[in-house]
Chain A
Amino acid sequence: MRIEAEIERFIVDELVEEDLAQIDPDESLIERGLLDSIAVLRLMAFIEEQFGVTVDEGDVVPDNFETINSLKVFLERKIENNHGSPERGR
């Protein structure tokens, strides 16, 4: 829950330009046109700072970034891998 809420807050505060600031966790962020290159780089920087994980550029694909829920699943996996592995990041 915490992860989704924080990601949603960042997206709503920082990336959505119009005022109707509500996003369904299963709504496609791609369809909505929110995740262009600059937005994704900002989101990656936010995720890395907030959750202490390193996002590999190869991870930035629709499967992981399509919705808030897919971001959550991706991040949980990252955090878990990070926790279990001594060689964090690259």
Chain B
Amino acid sequence: MMNHRDDTANRVLACDVAICGGGLAGLTLARQLKLAMPRLSIVLLDRLARPLPEAAFKVGESTVEVGAYYLGQTLKLHDYFDEHHLYKLGLRYFFGDSQGPFQDRPEFGLSEFPPVSSYQIDRGLLENDLRRFNAEAGVQMLEGCAVRAIALANGNGRHEISFKQRETGAEGKVHARWVIDAMGRRRYLQKKLDLAKAHGRPCSAAWFRLEGRIDVSDLAPRDADGWHRRVPENNRYYSTTHLMGKGYWVWLIPLSSGSTSVGIVALEDVHPFAGFNTYPAALQWLRTHEPVLAAYIEGREPLDFKVMRRYSYSSRQVFSEERWACVGEAGVFSDPFYSPGTDMIGFANTAATEMIRLDLEGELAPETVTEFNRFILALNELLTHNIQQGYPLFGSAVVSAAKLIWDVTVAWSIYGPQMFNSIYVDAEKNAQVRKVTGKFFLLTQQMHRLFVDWEAKSPGRLTFDFIDYLTIPFLKRLRLRNLRSGKSLQELIDDHVENMERLEELAQVLFLLAVEDVMPERLDQFPAPVWLNAWHVGLDPARWPDRLFRPTSAPRDLEGMRAEIRSLFHSKERQDAGSVTGVPAHAR
């Protein structure tokens, strides 16, 4: 263990890569670089020194498959996560009337742990361990050293990073060929270079950690047998649980250190920030909007309480051929819904690793940097737009469920393969795959417009009790096919052709569901076998003849997928007439 307290101050350290910021983005990048290029010299600076506190350290505990693949496989931490963090039982959502019995709320989530895993991370525990792993791998860790300034190099020279040891006040400098800003929301380089770009809707968050297990299973009475049976062994606890209402969601995330993270995220147009920006206000807000949870946590003392107002932002540039990069929240930030933070870290870090590798081989072309920039910025902006236009729809169970099915299908068919097969960092793969998926973007834009319109017009004719999205046969097959690495170029092309076909079919199937919910009297305009122009689905019948009824692709059979989706929903009248059994519609 090197004693940098004595010998790093008042002298200049030279290295290949200086990583400013030792949070999740900086620590994972250091590890990825060392795994890819063991001889690379790396200095990592962070204002905090170990030991970092566990349980109530940083927010961002939940991962999905893409981020989990990055942590487990790319960073070779699979066994470590297996042993020290929690397996996650997917994303889980409760919709509907938050004032009534909890077990009556429509639920969207998994029953069993899926074969491709994701994790719930204790951030303090993970970051302590990553620091240790990096030090052992030869990364020079300057802990307790605050970055004061970064002077970017002119031309081919070295960047200069000035830092100050917080304990001793001593100052030092690092000279580096590459400098990475991983200092989070401080966005040092973004601000210095005037690259920050406003972005997204006014969404804000507040969160706190509570000691012990806040188990969503406890929100329903013990005698609600059907409800408890459909997710055995109280395993709902291991999901990232979302309690949904118009303009908001509330998260419950278990931490391996034994406590639970609770957060409120809301669109300010619907829920003013002042309504939940202190712990007493947040508790009062929960009493109004999520009274069952509020009653359950009443009287407990939070371990911490934090807020983040209007958290989304974008940028004009995150990578430069002049050998700097902004990763993690120092670059862009989307929205915590769907837990994409670790995915974005993985995408940006992998691009940074590739740029550094190419640079050291003298092969870094400006076009490569431009392409990587475009990929990260487009991904962030589209993700934010896609997520945040869903907030006003969260009050509608049927529309939100349809959008979730769409978004999950998109995540596994379009975004997943990017990470699992590093498509975007390989120009040839990228060009071939883009040829196949070129039609996707405007299709998903049209679907988002459909969801917004559907919510505005929905009388709530359709609802559901429980949707386990991995029991939907087409979706289960699609997940297994796509969340796999090591594919050949031809396999990737073939799989994307198939993915695009499923998306084209799903667009039509969800549209027909919307018609049934909003205007069932129109269904007879769609006699089987139905085949429509998926790019023009919409709820204005006057526009159907021109576009919707003029498909440009050859018809395929829709009925199988249509039956799979339709069986998940039932009409509300039937539910109101009978009692809720807690057994999913398709299992009756």
Chain A residues engaging chain B, CB cutoff 8 angstroms: 17, 28, 30-42, 57-58, 60-63, 65-66
Contact = CB atoms under 8 A, between A and B. Distances in A.
Interface string B443-466: 101100100100000000000000
A36 B445 contact: no
B449 A30 contact: no
Per DSSP, chain B at the interface is helix
Contacts of A37: 378-379, 382, 440-441
A41 B377 contact: yes
Interface stretch (B139-147, B303-311, B431-439): B431-439
Given A30-B438, A42-B374, A62-B446, 6 more contacts: A28-B552, A33-B434, A41-B378, A41-B381, A58-B389, A62-B536
Interface string B473-500: 0000000000000000000000000000
Contacts of A62: 442-443, 445-446, 535-536
Contacts of B377: 41
7 contacts: A38-B378, A40-B441, A41-B377, A58-B452, A61-B445, A62-B443, A63-B547
Nearest to B438: A33
A41 B452 CA distance: 21
Given A17-B431, A30-B535, A41-B381, A60 B442 contact: yes
A41 to B, nearest CB: 5
Interface of B: 374-375, 377-379, 381-382, 385, 389, 431, 434-443, 445-446, 449, 452, 535-536, 547, 552
Contacts of B378: 37-38, 41
Given A41-B378, A62-B535, A34 B438 contact: yes
B510 to A, nearest CB: 16
A86 B379 CA distance: 32
Given A30-B535, A31-B552, A41-B381, A36 B437 contact: yes
Contacts of B434: 33, 36
A35 B442 contact: yes
Contacts of B379: 37
Contacts of A33: 434-436, 438-439
A22 to B, nearest CB: 18
Contacts of A58: 389, 449, 452
Contacts of B436: 33
B127 to A, nearest CB: 32
A66 B375 CA distance: 23
Chain B CB within 10 A, most for which of A30, A32, A62, A65 = A62
B268 to A, nearest CB: 15
Nearest to B535: A62
Given A30-B535, A41-B378, A42-B374, A35 B441 contact: yes
